[in-house]
Structure 1
Amino acid sequence: MYRSGERQVAHETRETNALVENNGLLRYANALNFYDHPPLFDVTVDEFETTAIDRLRVLAEIESSLARNRTWEELKAITYAQYMKYVPLHTSTFTDAVEERRKDHLGHYVLRLAFCRSEDLRRRFVKAESVLFRVRFEQTEIELRKEFLNSRNFNWIAVTQEEKAQYHQELYSMYQSPKQENRADAFKKEKFSKVRWTRVPDLVEARRVFLKSGWAYVPGREQSSIIFQEFEVQLEKALEATSRLIPRLDEDSRLIPVLDNLSQGFVAGIASEWMNAAGSSSSSDIRAEMVDGLAKKHFPMCMRGMHENLRRDHHLKHFGRLQYGLFLKVLGLSIEEAVAFWRKSFDRMTDDKFSKEYKYNIRHSYGLEGKRANYPAKNCLQILTSSPSDVGCPYRTFSPENLQTALLSMYSQEGLKSSDLPEIMSTVKAGHYHVACTRVFEITHASCGVAKGEGIGGGESVTHPNQYAARSMELGKSKKEDDAME
């Protein structure tokens, strides 16, 4: 068991208006949380990790959406769907919210430990968490918002009616009323507050506040900007404090590997798992002779490249065979068909050599030899962080020139054009390799009805080669059925 957050924030008090004790159980007063205080309850190492991974899925999808320049409404819809799927948090009145809020609280703090280690990780974490908080804030009922705001001191000063009258002309000139209301009538009812202008740089940039002697006069309907800015500032300070104290965790050998894995997941910009990666495939009737056709139509670039290398060289190195073999296994290739596929692929060697040197490894990957483990296929995180370059992500390992050539060679028949390359390459240059892969998926499946921004479905990005292939095969099957009905 591990008492999470206790060491790295020992200086903080246990009293907080966000948490109150009720008959020995933690009760959260509001779904909205500035995470001022650590979760002081016992958790297992397994819960420590799984709770953080679920939250990482949400933050990774937020970062992916930001990289793709989605509109705020699109980003909000995707973020809401993601957090309700992985870290459900009802922001309206909810009778049994304790467990939801507990998981939210714990997951945030575990990721703090993972992402406080470098300036880049802290910056990305703050940006993603701020979007998540903003989406939840906008989804929360007005009365619950007021309760939350009243529970904190945001240090804004209410503007009196006399001061409002004094600067009437200036305030009215910058005031933007709701579209459904008359501007003059809305201005009369509007309540203003003032803060130092450095606390609302976004409103200053957009010229939505009146500035006077270093003060920014903020309309009530824009006060959320102060709240969001305060959230970012407090989180940045907390991460810096945690980074100074994180070395104290080095003594715990159980947690460091978990934190390392989480931080790598964020470096890759993707979620750490695909839900069905180790499960059974939806297409269990794949035969060896079908793989060539499937590779040309449905495989992501990493696996399609391996398949082409296999066909060209009649061989793959050990790690390539392992990675590609597990991919085909999860895709639905049975052990009998796998042996037939690899035997045909290695057609330049004798049966005896194949049986002695390769057949055992194939059976081992299916859990039929050795310790008989059910090995899952590698996800995008594992591929992105692989050491051997021959099994890495091509979006990361290829030079820009080679990557563009390979993309056109592989996917031009599926609709990829030279005019699509600048957009793809810009995401690669920014290090968002999964976004580039997702965009290629959208372009090559436009004929199946996939629109830009839809990803593999619901706006989600590619996080696993089998996820890409399974969704592609599903879309291909649906299109074939639709064409047959016409």
Structure 2
Amino acid sequence: MYQAAKHSSKLQKNGLDDDLSLVEGSTSASHRLSLYDQPPLYDITVEDFETSALDRLRILAEIESSAARNRSWEETKQVTITQCGKYLPLNSNSALGIDLQSERRKDQLGHFVLRLAFCRSEELRRRFVKAETTLFRVRYETDDSNERRAFLDSKDFNWISVGSEEKNKYQAQLTHFAPGKSDTERENAFKSEPFYKVKWTTIPDLVDKRKVFMKGGFAYVPAREQASIIYAAFEERLDAALLATSRAIPLVDEETRLNPILDNLAQGFTAGVPSDWHFPLCMRVLHQTLRRDRHIQHFGRLHYGLFLKVLGLKIDEAIIFWRKSFAGGKGSDKFDKEYRYNIRHSFGLEGGRRNYPAKNCLQLHTAHEAGCPYRQLENSPENLQSALLSTYSGQGLTLDDLPEIMTQVKKKAYHVACTRVFEITHSRHVKKGEGLGDGESVTHPNQYAARSIELEKDSQEPKMEVD
């Protein structure tokens, strides 16, 4: 995938600025499922490069949101299927009247673009692998059984089919892992159940749950647990591929057109927050700090926590979100001791039991810590402009927009600057001067977010045609 940077330089010289030639040739995908072991082999436009990645990012962000909200597997699967239907449909070979190759090209391209964006740090690689593995699992469970078997037959998962002689040799041990409530039921199931042998280190989840028999460094896996081998193989190969891509990333860093796109994609991968929700800069800065440092100071936690509460985050979800955000969920005792009380207090469940409201813009303007970035960075215009571009360049804000915004900042009209950013990033729905709609200006971070979510939902709802 990273060959794109090399080839795009050649295209620039030929005057073809809008194209990125990845590798000469074409590609086709025989199966709906993929291990993404070969990069795309076709030319793309910069627009396709970004669009395919953003649509896939919506799916991965919703998967992270499901984890942060502690959704069950069935709930996560259903939400993911729904999101895929909107942004990343991927039909089986048996589907009629569908351009399957177009769907699979977009799926492949989006995956490899995001590899470039998320290979740059260990934390990003870990989160990307986890979300992609979940997406693969959803597709695996919902795939046509015959097509899934054809996919498995086409790949080498490094398993060894256990022959009848070896199976009988360990019958006493293997029967224990056959399904059934009685010895007779398990013995009957054992006779028809195939077993596969893999290195035990490749399936730690089954080993931890004691669902396999181990002997001589190998785990004997019953066929009904075969999916665990496949998920582990997907995760292991993607992890290795990301590491290899990270070592080759200097080739892409030479390509200035791609860097802003990749940087924005990486910053937009926010746990617990769907990627199509546009937050005001004050809350985006706090979230980015939390993702980067695994911690934010007291007033940052207060402001961002109240913002999320008003947005709809429940107390149980909030505790899960903050625990996972701090040091990757480690140090549970320390978290409970130092932070849990304050979170419950902000929900009115401790102390004076006052249900605190989220801070409005005026309160953030006067805050000395974790306040309005337009005010706090007023004397550091380069930093403010950099923050705006890194946060909103993927949502339509460009260098040409900055002078107008900075003019309002210099006038100390911070709310006007923020409102103009909203208009620019929501230009499909509002025009310049309309603010949030009907000329209303931004006066509260939750007002900004709620209006953004409302506009996004309206744009996705089917419109009724009237004759």
Would the TM-score normalized by the shorter structure come out above 0.5? yes
User: 1:407 and 1:43, CA in 2 relative to 1: closer, same or farther beyond 3 A?
Assistant: closer
| Counterpart mapping for 1:87-486 below 5 A | 87-91=88-92, 93-95=94-96, 96-176=99-179, 182-267=185-270, 270-274=273-277, 379-380=278-279, 382-386=281-285, 399=299, 402=302, 421=315, 423-431=317-325, 464-468=449-453
Deviation at 1:94, TM superposition (A): 2.7
Deviation at 1:382, TM superposition (A): 4.7
8 A contact 1:59–1:129 mirrored in 2 = yes
User: 1:215 and 1:80, CA in 2 relative to 1: closer, same or farther beyond 3 A?
Assistant: same
User: 1:182 and 1:56, CA in 2 relative to 1: closer, same or farther beyond 3 A?
Assistant: same
Deviation at 1:415, TM superposition (A): 11
Deviation at 1:469, TM superposition (A): 5.7
8 A contact 2:92–2:143 mirrored in 1 = yes
**Aligned residue in 2 for 1:6:** 3
1:80 aligns with 2:81: yes
**Aligned residue in 1 for 2:27:** 26
SS at match of 1:193: strand
Q: Deviations for 1:205-238, whole angstroms, at most 9, x for unmatched residues?
A: 1111111111100011111111110100100010
Instruction: With the length of structure 1 as denominator, give the TM-score of the two structures.
Output: 0.58
Instruction: With the length of structure 2 as denominator, give the TM-score of the two structures.
Output: 0.60
What letter is aligned with 2:32? A
User: 1:197 and 1:114, CA in 2 relative to 1: closer, same or farther beyond 3 A?
Assistant: same
8 A contact 1:31–1:90 mirrored in 2 = yes
8 A contact 1:57–1:270 mirrored in 2 = no
Q: Deviations for 1:432-486, whole angstroms, at most 9, x for unmatched residues?
A: 9xxx9xxx9xxx9xxxxxxxxxxxxxxxxx994325567999xxxxxxxxxxxxx
User: 1:216 and 1:187, CA in 2 relative to 1: closer, same or farther beyond 3 A?
Assistant: same
1:62 aligns with 2:63: yes
Deviation at 1:178, TM superposition (A): 11
What letter is aligned with 1:424? A
User: 1:117 and 1:174, CA in 2 relative to 1: closer, same or farther beyond 3 A?
Assistant: same
Larger Rg: 1 or 2? 1
8 A contact 1:193–1:218 mirrored in 2 = yes
Deviation at 1:113, TM superposition (A): 0.2
Q: Deviations for 1:241-294, whole angstroms, at most 9, x for unmatched residues?
A: 1001111112211100000000000146544435xxxxxxxxxxxxxxxxxxxx
Q: Deviations for 1:307-338, whole angstroms, at most 9, x for unmatched residues?
A: xxxxxxxxxxxxxxxxxxxxxxxxxxxxxxxx
SS at match of 2:268: helix
SS at match of 1:385: helix
What letter is aligned with 2:176? S
SS at match of 1:218: strand
Q: What is the aligned-residue identity percentage?
A: 47
Structure 1, unaligned stretches of length 5 or more?
11-23, 275-378, 390-394, 445-461, 474-486
User: 1:182 and 1:425, CA in 2 relative to 1: closer, same or farther beyond 3 A?
Assistant: same
How many Å separate the matches in 2 of 1:61 and 1:45? 25
